């Protein structure tokens, strides 16, 4: 009788239907003969969350993550502080990647380990961050605080900054004391994702008195840089996984819309076009002038009237793009109510709504410009009934 513990019997017992693994090309095709079927599900198919549900699950995740060893990760990163300082002293720049917010870790490293003359913190995750402003602040430090009349064009401003760069000396330094440390949270953030911004930062990184400590949060971040930019940045990459929540980084976005693709959450008093809860539209309207709110009132009034007319004819299908108001018509209606005085004033008001995605402009069947609010009928009705549009 054969020994049941022999390798042949063991594998036959554990893997009765397994294929024989071969080396070479035969082995490759043998292993890939029966690939598992990939799922076609996406995040946008997940059920919508209300604000209360989001807060509830967020707090629960925070409680569960307290036992996930995050403190051990922080201590591990802290042991690398002296190594990172040495790398900066050798004219490298640092970029940190990994799951979780790296903001607090990077700030701790700069505050505790570096004795810099100036530290400039750039929040790349803030949509309002301007590369022009970053360069002007850097120029104020690198030009010894003289702050001469700075050129407005970015190439001219960079040329002025780079004139102050000196050939990098390589003596044995007893103490590393950089002149300017540029801390860039989310260097791949929305406001810095343009080729112009990255080119300017890479040029600034080659300045002898500038040292960059940056973080990346998107998986496609390396696609921002070609070989020339990477050479100028002279990055050393470090895995700095923290598993910390992206609280600060996501503070400029509605977390209920993240991952939803084109299904954005447009809401009013907790009722939205996608069923998600937020009062974002009301906050936007409260921040605008009474004339701007009047313009929006005129638009949605005419849009609702157009919807009503079509539905009376027996068509119940709703597509907001089909009920837009022509640009010239809307301008004329607003002029008659003394909401706008000229076309420039009218377009300026529209820009506010475009930026908050409360209006969309499209082309009609005959090429005319149509403007519409991209919300469900019940949302528009609630908005029209709200006193804020009449204040």
The DSSP annotation for 237-249 comes to: EEE-------TTT
What CATH number does the domain containing 71 carry? 3.40.50.300
| Coil, helix or strand at residue 146 | coil
Q: Is residue 225 in a domain?
A: yes
pLDDT of residue 13: 43
Q: Could you tell me which residues come within 8 angstroms of residue 138 by beta carbon, excluding any fewer than 6 positions away?
A: 120, 161, 180, 182, 204, 210
pLDDT of residue 359: 86
Last residue of a domain, one of 239, 257, 278: 239
The Cα 212–Cα 120 span in angstroms is: 10
* Co-location of 301 and 187 in the same domain: no
Taking 70 as the pLDDT cut, the residues of the chain under it are: 1-23, 34-36, 42-44, 49, 51, 64-68, 145-148, 167-175, 253-280, 282-283, 310-321, 386-391
pLDDT of residue 22: 60
Q: Based on the structure, what is the number of domains in the chain?
A: 3
What CATH number does the domain containing 328 carry? 1.10.10.10
pLDDT of residue 338: 87
* Co-location of 28 and 60 in the same domain: no
Q: Is residue 25 in a domain?
A: yes
Q: Is residue 258 in a domain?
A: no
Torsion, CA 239, CA 243, CA 245, CA 250, rounded to 10: 40
Closest by CA to 355, choosing from 284, 286, 261, 300, is 284
Q: Which domain holds residue 335?
A: 267-390
pLDDT of residue 225: 92
pLDDT of residue 67: 61
Predicted TM-score (pTM) of this structure: 0.57
């Amino acid at each position: 009788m054969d020994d049941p513990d022999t390798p042949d019997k063991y594998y036959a017992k554990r893997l009765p239907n397994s294929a024989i693994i071969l080396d070479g090309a035969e082995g490759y095709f043998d292993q890939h003969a029966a690939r598992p079927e990939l799922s076609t599900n996406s995040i946008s198919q997940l059920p919508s969350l209300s604000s209360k549900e989001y807060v509830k699950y967020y707090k629960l995740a925070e409680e569960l993550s307290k036992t996930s060893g995050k403190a051990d990760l922080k201590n591990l990163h802290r042991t690398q502080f002296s190594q990172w300082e040495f790398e900066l002293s050798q004219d490298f720049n640092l970029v940190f990647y990994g799951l979780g917010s790296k903001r607090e870790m990077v700030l701790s490293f700069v505050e505790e380990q570096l004795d810099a003359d100036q530290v400039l913190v750039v929040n790349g995750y803030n949509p309002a961050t301007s590369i022009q402003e970053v360069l002007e602040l850097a120029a104020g430090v690198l030009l010894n605080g003289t702050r001469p009349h700075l050129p407005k064009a970015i190439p001219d401003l960079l040329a002025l900054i780079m004139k102050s760069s000196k050939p990098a000396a390589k003596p044995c330094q007893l103490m590393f004391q950089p002149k300017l440390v540029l801390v860039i949270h989310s260097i791949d953030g929305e406001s810095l994702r343009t080729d112009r911004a990255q080119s300017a930062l890479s040029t600034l990184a080659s300045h002898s008195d500038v040292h960059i400590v940056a973080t990346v949060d998107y998986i496609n971040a390396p696609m921002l840089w070609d070989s020339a930019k990477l050479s100028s940045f002279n990055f050393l990459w470090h895995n700095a996984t923290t598993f910390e929540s992206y609280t600060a980084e996501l503070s400029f976005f509605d977390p209920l819309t993240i991952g939803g693709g084109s299904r954005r959450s447009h809401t009013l008093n907790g009722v939205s076009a996608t069923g998600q809860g937020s009062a974002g539209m009301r906050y936007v309207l409260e921040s605008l002038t009474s004339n701007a709110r009047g313009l929006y009132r005129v638009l949605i009034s005419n849009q609702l009237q157009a919807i009503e007319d079509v539905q009376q004819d027996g068509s119940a299908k709703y597509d907001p793009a089909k009920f837009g108001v022509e640009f010239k018509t809307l301008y004329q209606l607003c002029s008659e109510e003394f909401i706008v005085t000229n076309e420039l004033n009218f377009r300026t008001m529209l820009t506010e709504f475009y930026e908050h995605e409360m209006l969309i402009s499209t082309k009609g069947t005959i090429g005319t410009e149509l403007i519409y609010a991209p919300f469900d009928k019940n949302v528009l009705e609630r908005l029209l009934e709200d006193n804020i549009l009449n204040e």
